[in-house]
Amino acid sequence: MNNTEIEKMLSQKMSENSFAKLTALNNDAVIEFVAKYAELCSPDSIYVCDDSADDRAYIRNKSIENNEEIKLATEGHTIHFDGPKDQARDKANTKYLVKEGVNLGEKLNTKDYQEGYDEVHEFFENSMNGKEMYVRFFCLGPVNSDFSLSCVQITDSAYVAHSEDLLYRTGYEQFKKVGNTKNFFRFVHTAGELENNVSKNVDKRRVFIDLEDNIVYSTNTQYAGNTVGLKKLAMRLAINKCKDEDWLTEHMFVMGVNGPEGRKTYFAGAFPSACGKTSTAMLPGETIIGDDIAYIRPRNGHAQAVNVENGIFGIIRDVNQKDDPIIWDVLNSEGEVIFSNILKDENGKVYWLGMGTETADKGVNYAGEWEKGKKDANGNEVSLAHKNARYTVELDRLDNSDENTQNPEGVTIGGFIYGGRDSDTSVPVAESFNFAHGVLMYGATLESETTAATLGAEGVRTFNLMSILDFLAYPLNDYIQHNLDFGSGLTNPPRVFGVNYFLKSKDGKYLNGMLDKGVWVKWMELRVNGDAETITTPIGNIPLYEDLQKIFSQVLNKEYTKDQYIEQFTIRVPELIAKINRIRKVYENESGSAIEQLFAEFDAQEKRLKELQSEKGDHVSPFDI
């Protein structure tokens, strides 16, 4: 099509107002992109959004009108259901489209460019018949910031578009300022054919990523982790973009921890899904900037971070008044909340797993009509809500959102935290000997027992370096090297900590309470500022009993006994060596200078552990070190 034909086609599908909004951007690449998918997906109409409150209301109303969201009893609350088989990120069908000669390493899921492109474009054909196409502009990161990136989302799901309003900063005005550029991320999503308002053909679910053109295609799915372009889809593009520049895109929360005498220290933390990341970022008494994705740049010799997002797509399971008071309040008061995949009763009240209050006996959930005791086709009980059910809210709804949340300069990061779900190996908190040791031995060796946040079996110990493996867009060696280079380029790199909230006793009970993480962050805050001593062990520096005892009493008003400390901070030599051996296997087919450095750290750490073992035995109390 030539320009006149494009304009004619677009103006037939959209109102004058939408057309004016689109053309006012004066961006040829945007017009071309919208025209290409308007023609291919063939929606009945197209709606172009700017940053206005009217357009925001339009999208929200559409999600209700389309039955993608149902209004609940509380003002501002809605519920959305994804299909029973569309409840999490689909790792198997998320692939990088690569041209001949491109090798992203064996850990990444790739597909021949042309094959993948053709397949997904075939699925796109006429996929929006009978539907409206929404065209949205967003800014990843705070507006007017050197950290931030622009993007365009095309979707036929008002739920996806509505979620983006809660989760991101709109970027239409910013787009106007950037001029006629191709330098932005693009996302095309279609839920595909619907049945009972959910994607029908989940067997044709695809998330295909084109790193060369900075575009992600997503189809036959509604679950936000597969569809909301700005979240994990943009994260993959940003990881790729920053690899040749001097900054990082990390799967990290950003939070402020209050120290003594009004001091505040910021931390960025990476945890695999459902491992306490959001609840750490939201800890009562501390402040939250973001819970999922950070852009981190060098500034004056420090690491400076912004939250890419403006809201939270958080796991709702086990959110209860006692352990998560801040989000509990938001979920129980008026204001915009999208609940997904939990139970709704006939009065428009909602219930989820582990909410700590009485739940309804019947209603509607992600699997349809539900009543207590309902069995699925295989005779298994259908739970009242899905384990990966979520809530979507804006950050500023939280009482403890940080004053720098929108700061275009970001905040200075005092510490990186890496954590996984580990029942028997690592101590609750330790600090690395230096930046590289932390990145390698806490970040690059991160493992976690799997959860419901991705499809597949739960409870399997899985390697997930820096909790970023699902999103990594280039080979492991280069990513680790990029992190090491980032740190060595700083005069004051962040301290690096490893945490584990999930240590269990021999009889399978958790050794720590949900809020104990509030103690570990206070200790880390002291460490960053040189205010606490440590015990040096083969795996890093661990806290002194007296310091923890004091913090437990101050923060949780809890007694912390010597026995608890010993059980939690015992250095478990055989388990720690077994972990090194597992991770050696993971990397045995990888190569490069970072991998060599990693293997040297494995050897050194193993040697230290064996020395301790020969002197003191398999399990060594911190008091004996």
Active site residues: 275
Asked if 138 and 168 touch (Cβ cutoff 8 Å), the reply is yes
Report the residue from 292, 431, 525, 547 that binds ligand SPV according to the rule CB under 6 A: 292
Nearer to ligand SPV, 89 or 386 (CB): 89
Q: Is 11 exposed, middle or buried (0-12, 13-18, 19+ CB in 10 A)?
A: middle
Distance in angstroms (rounded) separating the CA atoms of residues 449 and 446: 10
Residue facing ligand SPV at closest CB distance: 225
Query: Which residues lie below 8 Å from residue 472, measured CB to CB, with a gap of 6+?
Result: 107, 108, 236, 239, 465, 479
User: What's the residue count for the chain?
Assistant: 625
Report the residue from 232, 397, 522, 579 that binds ligand SPV according to the rule CB under 6 A: 232
* Residue 224 interacts with which of ligand SPV, Mn ion, none, CB < 5 to 8 Å by class: ligand SPV
Nearer to Mn ion, 27 or 464 (CB): 464
In terms of DSSP H, where are the helices of 427-490? 435-438, 476-488
Stretch that binds ligand SPV, among 48-56, 225-233, 342-350, 564-572 (CB under 6 A): 225-233
Q: In angstroms, what is the minimal distance from the CB of 325 to ligand SPV?
A: 22
Does residue 466 bind ligand SPV (CB under 6 A)?
Answer: no
Distance in angstroms (rounded) separating the CA atoms of residues 410 and 425: 35
Does residue 252 bind ligand SPV (CB under 6 A)?
Answer: no
Residue 73 tokens read as: 């009893």
Q: How many residues bind ligand SPV (CB under 6 A)?
A: 9
Nearest residue to 169 via CA among 146, 190, 148:
148
Q: How many residues bind Mn ion (CB under 5 A)?
A: 1
* Residue 13 interacts with which of Mn ion, ligand SPV, none, CB < 5 to 8 Å by class: none
Nearest residue to 131 via CA among 215, 205, 219:
219
Nearer to ligand SPV, 60 or 89 (CB): 89
Report the residue from 25, 46, 224, 469 that binds ligand SPV according to the rule CB under 6 A: 224
Distance in angstroms (rounded) separating the CA atoms of residues 189 and 448: 30
Asked if 400 and 289 touch (Cβ cutoff 8 Å), the reply is no
Which H or E element spans position 212? none
Name the phi and psi angles at 129, rounded to 5: -55, 135
Does residue 387 bind ligand SPV (CB under 6 A)?
Answer: no
Output the CA–CA distances (angstroms, integers) from residue 418 to 208, 253, 274, 499, in the order listed: 28, 11, 14, 6
Output the CA–CA distances (angstroms, integers) from residue 349 to 77, 81, 353, 362, in the order listed: 10, 15, 14, 11
How many other C-beta atoms can be found within 10 angstroms of the C-beta atom of residue 116?
20
Stretch that binds ligand SPV, among 206-214, 224-232, 437-445, 550-558 (CB under 6 A): 224-232
Q: In angstroms, what is the minimal distance from the CB of 278 to Mn ion?
A: 9
What residue type is 335 in one-letter code? G
Nearer to ligand SPV, 51 or 292 (CB): 292
Nearer to ligand SPV, 38 or 275 (CB): 275
Q: In angstroms, what is the minimal distance from the CB of 248 to ligand SPV?
A: 17
Q: In angstroms, what is the minimal distance from the CB of 89 to ligand SPV?
A: 5
Q: In angstroms, what is the minimal distance from the CB of 272 to ligand SPV?
A: 7
CA atoms within 13 A on the CB side of 365: 29
> Which residues, listed in sequence order, are joined to residue 596 by a DSSP beta bridge?
none
Q: In angstroms, what is the minimal distance from the CB of 604 to ligand SPV?
A: 32
Report the residue from 43, 116, 225, 256 that binds ligand SPV according to the rule CB under 6 A: 225
Report the residue from 273, 500, 549, 570 that binds ligand SPV according to the rule CB under 6 A: 273
Q: In angstroms, what is the minimal distance from the CB of 224 to Mn ion?
A: 11
Does residue 231 bind ligand SPV (CB under 6 A)?
Answer: yes
* Residue 231 interacts with which of ligand SPV, Mn ion, none, CB < 5 to 8 Å by class: ligand SPV
3-state SS track over 369-413: EEECCCECCCCCECCCCCCCCEEEEEHHHCCCECCCCCCCCCEEE
Within 282-301, the residues that bind Mn ion by CB under 5 A are 292
Q: In angstroms, what is the minimal distance from the CB of 294 to Mn ion?
A: 11
Distance in angstroms (rounded) separating the CA atoms of residues 274 and 449: 10
Query: Which residues lie below 8 Å from residue 179, measured CB to CB, with a gap of 6+?
Result: 26, 27
Site track 62-101 with ligand SPV (rule: CB under 6 A), x = hit = ---------------------------x------------
Distance in angstroms (rounded) separating the CA atoms of residues 539 and 577: 11
Residue 343 tokens read as: 């139970």
Stretch that binds ligand SPV, among 167-175, 213-221, 223-231, 418-426 (CB under 6 A): 223-231
Does residue 453 bind ligand SPV (CB under 6 A)?
Answer: yes
DSSP state at residue 454: B
How many other C-beta atoms can be found within 10 angstroms of the C-beta atom of residue 90?
22
Nearer to Mn ion, 50 or 470 (CB): 470
Nearer to Mn ion, 164 or 292 (CB): 292
Q: In angstroms, what is the minimal distance from the CB of 430 to ligand SPV?
A: 24
* Residue 541 interacts with which of ligand SPV, Mn ion, none, CB < 5 to 8 Å by class: none
Nearer to ligand SPV, 51 or 291 (CB): 291
* Residue 225 interacts with which of ligand SPV, Mn ion, none, CB < 5 to 8 Å by class: ligand SPV
Does residue 389 bind ligand SPV (CB under 6 A)?
Answer: no
* Residue 49 interacts with which of Mn ion, ligand SPV, none, CB < 5 to 8 Å by class: none
Distance in angstroms (rounded) separating the CA atoms of residues 50 and 173: 8
Task: Strand 77-80: give its sheet, edge to edge.
Answer: 70-71, 77-80, 337-340, 390-394, 311-315
What residue type is 589 in one-letter code? N
Q: In angstroms, what is the minimal distance from the CB of 485 to ligand SPV?
A: 25
> Which residues, listed in sequence order, are joined to residue 247 by a DSSP beta bridge?
none
Nearer to ligand SPV, 266 or 471 (CB): 471
Does residue 237 bind ligand SPV (CB under 6 A)?
Answer: no
Asked if 219 and 189 touch (Cβ cutoff 8 Å), the reply is yes
Summarize as ranges the residues that interact with ligand SPV (CB under 6 A).
89, 224-225, 231-232, 273, 292, 313, 453
Summarize as ranges the residues that interact with Mn ion (CB under 5 A).
292
